Structures are given as structure tokens and as C-alpha cells.
Amino acid sequence: MTRAPTNLLTVRNLLLAHLNVDPDRVRSQDLEPAEVGIVGDASHRGGYHCGSDRVVAGDYSVVESPRDRNGLTLDAAALDVGQFEVRSGGRTHDLHSFSVWCVGQCAANAPDTRDIREIIYSPDGRVVRRWDRLNRRSTGDDSHLWHTHFSFFRDAIKAGRDQTPLFRRYLTTIGLIEGDDMTPQEHAWLETIHRNLTVLDGRNPVGQIYTRMAMGEDHLNTSYVVPHPSLQSLGAQLSAVQTALSQLAGKDVTDEPAIIAGVLAGLTPEKIAAAIPPTLARQVAEELARRLAS
């Protein structure tokens, strides 16, 4: 029998967690559990609310896209969202503004909308409109004045792909939850950088720079000669310097007699006498006289 897939149940739980403000009682301004549906009732036949056991011959939810034909399972592939009204960020947000926002994201082909086939909605509670990624339909019945219908390509449901990012982004945009300040594209760039930095494969651009700097090698061009010292060669040189300094540290490299002889060799007797203080000069003279007398 047709079943509610886990990824759409997760979307349902996310919306109820933030739009059913008072879960302990029924309020007209809250999104109540009964207003968020996935599987059609027992008499429902055909369409995205039905799995393979309830689709009909020529069912548009199967035949109009290979994504649906190839993804058909017992899982339903639709989500209905009922009316709500919530204050956040100094503004009132409701089903209609939510629907218009979602359609705008789909029309802009935002990455987190590409598994959505269609949205049937009302922008104002008076007219019904239909956004269809396949441009096959543009109308819907009047029940969509008070609820919005999302159809998802069946292959995305079959694959279990996470469908919460769009709805989480809406809740973040209106200020109900704190969200990521990066776009999906920025996340993809960061993931690529992280992968390159952690792998450090010399065949990718970041790894190539690393191997040139660290090892003095180029794994894409083996004939390339790195024109600067590498971290490896600098490390070897530092080790050699450290070894030499350690050897010198154990030796007395000062030859005091040679230093004195060198200094005296450059001085005349007059300069030596002039440099000696009077008291010391007398002592030196007496010592020299004593040595000469002996």
C-alpha cells in the first residue's frame, strides 16, 4: 500500500516543529498535524499522493517525466501544507506568503528546489495558480485556496534525497530558526577546498602547490625544476646547522694568549705606555726591573 517516505515525513516534522506554535491545542493560526498530508485517503487514485498501487493508466505523475517513470515505488511523492499565520521579524507570515516564496525559489531554479515538479497554490486566497517545472499545467482546483500542494519527482523520493533544505531556508529567512549564512554554492566550494586540503593529491591544484613547496616535486610535470628551496631541503639544512652548533658547544674555541699577542703586535711601546694607568705603570716597571735584574 502507498506509504509516506521518510524524507517527506522529515519535511512534515520540520514544518510542524516551527509552525505549530502551540502543539497542545488546536489554533487557527497554527499549522496543525492534520493540515500537513503526504498520502492520499483510501479513495484517492492517481497523482503524486499515490504510490505504485494507486496510480492510474496514463497517470500524469508517472508518464510525463522519466524521473517519475524511473522512480515509481509505493512511496507517495507529494506534500500538502495547510493554513498558518506566524509573527517573526516584525512581519506576519502565512500560507500565501510561504507559497509565493517557494514558487519564487523554484522559478529561480535554486539548487534546493530541483526535485520539486510542481506547486499548486494561491498567492492571495482568491485565485489558484500552478507552477510546473515541466510547463505542462497551469491550473488547480479551489481546494488550493486554503492549502498548497508540492509534488516531488519520484526518483528523488526513491533515492531518499533530503528535501528539508528549501523549507529550512524559508524558516531561516523569516527568522524562526537560526540558519547557515552560506549559500548552497558556497557550501559546495568549501567542500571542494576541504577535500583538496585533506587529500593533498599532487595531481590537483592545491596538492600540486603543496608538493612543490614542501617536497620540491611536481607530480603533473616531472621535468619541472622548482626554482626555490623546498620545505624538505630547508629542513635538511637546518638539521645540519643544528648538528654543527651542537658540536661547537662542547669545545673551548677561545685562545686567550693568541688574542693578547695579536693585540700587542699592533701597538707601539708609546701606545702601550699611554694606555696603562700611572699606578699600574709603576707596578709594571717594577716587575720588569725585577725580571731584568734576575
Q: Which of 173, 113, 163 is nearest to 10 (CA)?
A: 163
- Cα 13 to Cα 59: distance, rounded to the nearest angstrom: 29
170 in the same domain as 94: yes
Q: Is residue 149 part of a domain?
A: yes
- Residue 199 has what pLDDT? 64
For the entire predicted model, the pTM comes to 0.63
116 in the same domain as 202: no
pLDDT band of residue 182 (cuts 50, 70, 90) is low
- Residue 184 has what pLDDT? 66
Chain segment 68-112, per-residue pLDDT in tens: 999 999 999 999 999 999 999 899 999 999 999 999 999 999 999
Q: Is residue 62 part of a domain?
A: yes
Q: Is residue 41 part of a domain?
A: yes
141 in the same domain as 66: yes
Q: What percent of the chain has pLDDT over 90?
A: 60
β-pairing, 78-81 vs 36-37, is: antiparallel
Range of the domain at 120: 6-180
Q: Which of 16, 24, 35 is nearest to 86 (CA)?
A: 16
pLDDT band of residue 197 (cuts 50, 70, 90) is low
Q: Is residue 107 part of a domain?
A: yes
- Residue 183 has what pLDDT? 61
- Residue 204 has what pLDDT? 67
280 in the same domain as 158: no
168 in the same domain as 23: yes
Domain boundary among 180, 205, 239: 180
Sequence letter at residue 163: Q
Chain segment 111-161, per-residue pLDDT in tens: 999 999 999 999 999 999 999 999 999 999 999 999 999 999 999 999 999
Average pLDDT of the chain, as a whole number? 89
Q: Is residue 1 part of a domain?
A: no
Q: Is residue 195 part of a domain?
A: yes
270 in the same domain as 238: no
Does residue 78 contact residue 152 with C-beta atoms inside 8 Å?
Answer: yes
- Cα 83 to Cα 70: distance, rounded to the nearest angstrom: 33
Q: Which of 229, 211, 228 is nearest to 220 (CA)?
A: 211
Average pLDDT over residues 188-193: 77
262 in the same domain as 242: no
176 in the same domain as 156: yes
Chain segment 209-246, per-residue pLDDT in tens: 777 777 778 777 778 787 888 778 888 888 888 888 88
Q: What percent of the chain has pLDDT over 70?
A: 93
65 in the same domain as 44: yes
